[in-house]
Structure 1
């Protein structure tokens, strides 16, 4: 499986999980993450985004 195909599969699965959570709870995944992780989660999530966006 090449990199593009792998990325597409991961994105599709994340979208499906997000949609299911939204239907089940009535809240978006962002709202649920903020409620669950508060301030520490925001820092961890932001750090992970920076690290992963710099990968080649």
Structure 2
């Protein structure tokens, strides 16, 4: 949930989405949503460039 704390310090499209989501849904749902979005971004890149180790 560190990304939720840092989002207020930056003013770009992704952080604005995170701030609005946090206001609408709350911290826990926002944290899961950001994690899912990161996974959706990282997974296709792993398929193209090789496996991703977590």
Q: TM-score band, normalised by the shorter chain? A: 0.3 to 0.5
Q: TM-score, normalised by structure 2?
A: 0.45
Query: Which fold has the larger relative contact order, with Cα–Cα distance below 8 Å and residues 6 or more apart in sequence?
Result: 2
Give the structure-1-normalised TM-score. 0.44
